[in-house]
Amino acid sequence: MRPLFFLCLIASNLFAAEAKRVFRAGAATSNITPKLGTPLIGGFNPRGSTHIHDDLNARCLVLDDGETKLAFAIVDNVQFPREIHDGAKELIHRATGLPKQNILIAATHTHSAPSLRGPSYTVLGEPWDDYQKFVVQRIADGVQRAFNQMERARIGWGVGEVPDHVFNRRWLLKGGQKVTNPFGDEETAVMNPGRYVKQLLKPAGPVNSAVYFISLEATDGRPIALLGNYWLHYVGRTMTGHVSADYFGIFSERMKELLGHPGQDPPFVGMLSNGASADINNNDYANYGKQRRYEPYEKMREVAEDVVQEVLRVRKSIKHRDWVKLGAAQSDLTLKRRRPSPELIARCRRVLANPIPDSKDYQREAIFARRALDAAKWPETTKALAQTFRIGDLGIASLPFEIFTEIGFEIQKRSPFKETIVIELGNGGLGYLPSPRQHELGGYETWLTVSSVEKDASPKLVDTLSELFSTLKTRRDESN
């Protein structure tokens, strides 16, 4: 009788533990729209803002399995430095007690927002300006509000396919033809090669047409939030001087219209993060010149609508779970910064000393000459935060870079989870992250100051993410 008694007691305790498990979620939107007149970035030359087409937001989500809490903040901006992320995390930690490693803040990469990098793209360590201070506080406010609005919830996730809008923007040319970059070096890959359309051979890398999403609903079935992830750089085609969250914002608002309930309190929050899309845009150069020309914002709406409809289609068939185990792990890597050689510094000074008026090629050379001279003052190393989350059998990886798609695929391949989401520009903005192979091909995304860390960085970062994922999986398996 005694063994049977103990078996019953163990079963009873396990049942009680299961009964006590409660999963909660909360979401909130924090407006970060700037004042008109604030300079916008997203191109080589800043331009003043003259109109707000649609608001910029930090969209926030908090998950709680009863033991571990995770927070997401997806911010409508092109990218921003580690200091801004760290400042917001500090405020969140003070207000909620949430460990900083359990907070993932990422930029969407809209190209029609103010800079969160301060006055200069390449000058480091400048004091925060008013907009940076404002956004740091608003991110923290949004996460705190999401905490305040947590309720019992169910969670599910899924993957769809939206292939019509993702194209690799880097091309190789026929006959091994090379082009010259602003630093005078010959290279093989060309970004957005409209001027070479008759000489195009093939794209220099792959695309990912998948759209990933995480869905949260209350126990009564009322939708709380949905976090999407699509591997498309941005869409663009705004009007000059317009502030816009790009298709990321349209997706979020459209999802709210279709999935949220009128008058819902707290409101439903839709949000869209960017995947490994450093070399991806929505221009099909294989059929260049054959597509119709879109009006401003028209293509954004088309892309967003297609992604929304696919997510809603797949969401109908997923299972929302009453409880899943959460986890977080991260590691700070020290990477070498790329800095100009003495020979390149001398060349840049010669370029700037001998201007060529009305020459677009010279203008491009001058822009990168100034950037390279700034880069000569950079520290020899920088920190890059590799971060991973665990949501049941779903893995989430984030790096502070614009990540090439082939690297995103490698992260997924090395992940032990059934499905893995890759979120770029998380916890900092260190520019483009090409693979060593892509560095050999050259092209805009590999240029000095655009890609700021050592050329062998991506294998180190992928190895680190793989180790972090293994740690999270081991923790989960041991807890079962």
The sign of the torsion formed by the CA atoms of 34, 40, 46, 47 equals: negative
Which residue did the predictor score with more confidence, 52 or 358? 52
Of 271, 263, 272, 273, give the one whose Cα is nearest residue 222: 263
Shared domain for 215 and 148, answered yes or no, is yes
Q: Are 85 and 136 in contact (CB under 8 A)?
A: no
- Determine, yes or no, domain membership for 190: yes
Indicate the residue type of 147. Answer: F
- Determine, yes or no, domain membership for 471: no
Q: Span 185-191, mean pLDDT?
A: 97
Shared domain for 370 and 289, answered yes or no, is no
Structural domains counted in the chain: 2
Of 266, 243, 242, give the one whose Cα is nearest residue 147: 266
Shared domain for 238 and 127, answered yes or no, is yes
Q: Side-chain half-sphere of 119: how many Cα atoms within 13 Å?
A: 4
Model confidence pLDDT, tens digit, residues 257-314: 999 988 899 999 999 999 999 999 999 999 988 888 899 999 999 999 999 999 999 9
Shared domain for 321 and 359, answered yes or no, is no
Question: What is the rounded distance in angstroms from the CA atom of residue 77 to the CA atom of residue 32?
Answer: 10
Of 202, 122, 181, 206, give the one whose Cα is nearest residue 444: 181
Shared domain for 260 and 364, answered yes or no, is no
- Determine, yes or no, domain membership for 147: yes
Question: What is the rounded distance in angstroms from the CA atom of residue 347 to the CA atom of residue 279?
Answer: 28
Shared domain for 278 and 367, answered yes or no, is no
Range of the domain at 357: 342-375
Structure tokens at 145: 């509000």
The CA R_g of the chain, rounded to the nearest whole Å, is 23
Shared domain for 355 and 408, answered yes or no, is no
Give the pLDDT of residue 475: 72
Q: Are 36 and 208 in contact (CB under 8 A)?
A: no
Question: What is the rounded distance in angstroms from the CA atom of residue 372 to the CA atom of residue 366?
Answer: 10
Give the pLDDT of residue 14: 40
Q: In 3-state terms, what secondary structure has residue 308?
A: helix
Give the pLDDT of residue 125: 76
Residue 63 pLDDT greater than 50, yes or no: yes
Give the pLDDT of residue 281: 96
Q: Span 370-376, mean pLDDT?
A: 95
The sign of the torsion formed by the CA atoms of 471, 216, 159, 424 equals: negative
Shared domain for 244 and 354, answered yes or no, is no
- Cβ burial, residue 129 (10 Å; 0-12/13-18/19+): middle
Question: What is the rounded distance in angstroms from the CA atom of residue 458 to the CA atom of residue 443?
Answer: 17
Structure tokens at 165: 């809008």
Shared domain for 69 and 142, answered yes or no, is yes
Q: In 3-state terms, what secondary structure has residue 471?
A: helix
What distance lies between CA 325 and its chain's CA centroid? 24
Shared domain for 154 and 285, answered yes or no, is yes
Q: Span 364-374, mean pLDDT?
A: 95
Cis bond upstream, residue 266 (ω within 30): yes
Of 72, 178, 70, give the one whose Cα is nearest residue 426: 72
Shared domain for 368 and 222, answered yes or no, is no
Concatenated DSSP letters of 62-107: EEE-SS-EEEEEEESSS---HHHHHHHHHHHHHHH---GGGEEEEE
Q: Which residues pair with 152 in a beta bridge?
A: 24
Shared domain for 231 and 371, answered yes or no, is no
Of 65, 15, 19, 18, give the one whose Cα is nearest residue 325: 65
Q: How long a stretch of residues is the chain?
A: 480
- Determine, yes or no, domain membership for 364: yes
- Determine, yes or no, domain membership for 332: no
- Its pTM surpasses 0.85: yes
Question: What is the rounded distance in angstroms from the CA atom of residue 420 to the CA atom of residue 166?
Answer: 19
Structure tokens at 331: 């590691």
Residue 83 pLDDT greater than 60, yes or no: yes
Which residue did the predictor score with more confidence, 139 or 41? 139
